[in-house]
Amino acid sequence: MIENINLNLLLEDMLHMLEVSISKKAVLRLNLIPDLPSVEADSTQIRQIVMNLVINASEAIGDKSGVIAITTGCMDCNKDYLKDVWLDENITQGLYVYLEIADSGCGMDKDTVSKIFDPFFTTKFTGRGLGMSAVLGIVRGHKGAIRVYSEPGKGTSFKILLPASDKPARIFNQGSYENNWKGSGTVLLVDDEETVRGIGKEMLQEFGFTAITANDGKEAVEIFKATPGISFVILDLTMPHMDGEQCFRELRQLKPYVKVIMSSGFSEHEVTQKFMGKGLAGFIQKPYKLSALKEAIRKI
C-alpha cells in the first residue's frame, strides 16, 4: 500500500529488529536528519529493502568487529549526480530523500559491483548480492534509484534515493503563508550540509529565485567570481575549509556591497554581535522556516 511515510520513524521502529538480526560484533548506528520530507512509498517493501541491506552488510563484516551506519537526509539531485545511479532512465532531477546503509566490511571490486543486481548473481563469500535484483525492482517501482560505492577492504555503501513528496513549505511551516510574494534573480546558497542545500534550494525556487549552491566558503568564492549578477548570498557560519566569516570577508573584497544573509544554528544575537557594523544584510536561524526565510529576504 502506497502512503506518505517518514523514513526516520520507520527506521526507529525497526531498530530493535535490525539489532537482533546482525552479527554480535557489528554495531548499528542511526544518523537521522531531522525535518525529513516524507516519501510516497509502500512501508512493507521499504522495510524489506532495509532488512536485506542490513543483513548483507552484517555478512560483509563477517566475524570481525565493524559498524553498519544507516543515514537519512535529502538532497537536490541534478543530471550529473544521477548519471552514476542504477537505473537512471525513469528518474528526474529534483529533491530526493535518501537512505544510506554503509558498512565497514570487506567491500567489492568494480567487477563485482557491476554484477550485483543481476538476478542470479551471488557472492557467497561476502553475502552480497542476495536478493539485490529484488531490491532494485522495489526501488524502481518507487521511481527511485540506487547509488553504490564500494572498495575492496574499505566497505560498501548503498544509497537509496526516493523522490520527496512534500513541498518544503509543509515540512517547515506550521502555519500557512501568503503565496503572493515572489522574488526574482540568482541566489547563492552556501552550506556544508547536503540536506540544508537541498531544502533551501527548493524553498528559494518556490519564491521564484534561481538558486546556485556551494558546499563550503572556498567553492562559494569561486562560484561568485565566475557568476555575474548574483543578487544575494545565504551563507552558513560554520563550515570546513573556509567558514562563513572568512568567506564573507572575501566576498566583500570581490564586491564591497554584496548582500549576505548569514545562517546559523546559533542565536541571532550572538551572530549579529559578531558582525556588528560590518554590513551584514540579515540573519536566518537554522533549520530554515519558509516564513522566516521570506522575511529575511524581504528585509534586504
Q: Residue 150 half-sphere exposure, CB side, CA atoms within 13 Å?
A: 26
What are the percentages of helix, strand and coil residues in the chain, rounded to 5?
A: 35, 25, 35
For residue 211, give the C-alpha cell.
538558486
Are the C-beta atoms of 253 and 226 separated by less than 8 Å?
Answer: no
Give the whole-angstrom CA distance, residue 230 versus residue 185: 7
Give residue-wise pLDDT tens across range 145-181: 999 999 898 899 999 999 998 665 455 544 444 556 7
DSSP structural state of residue 89 = T
Give residue-wise pLDDT tens across range 38-77: 999 999 999 999 999 999 899 889 888 999 999 999 888 8
Give the domains, in start order, of the chain with CATH numbers.
2-163 (3.30.565.10), 168-299 (3.40.50.2300)
Q: Produce one character per residue of 226-238: b if its CB has 16 or more CB atoms within 10 Å, e if not.
A: eeeebbbbbbbbe
pLDDT at 235: 97
Residue 201 backbone class (left: φ over 0; alpha: ψ -120 to 50; beta: rest): alpha
In the chain, % of residues over pLDDT 90: 53
Give residue-wise pLDDT tens across range 228-270: 999 999 999 999 889 999 999 999 999 999 999 999 988 888 8
CA-closest candidate to residue 284, choices 183, 148, 189, 216: 189
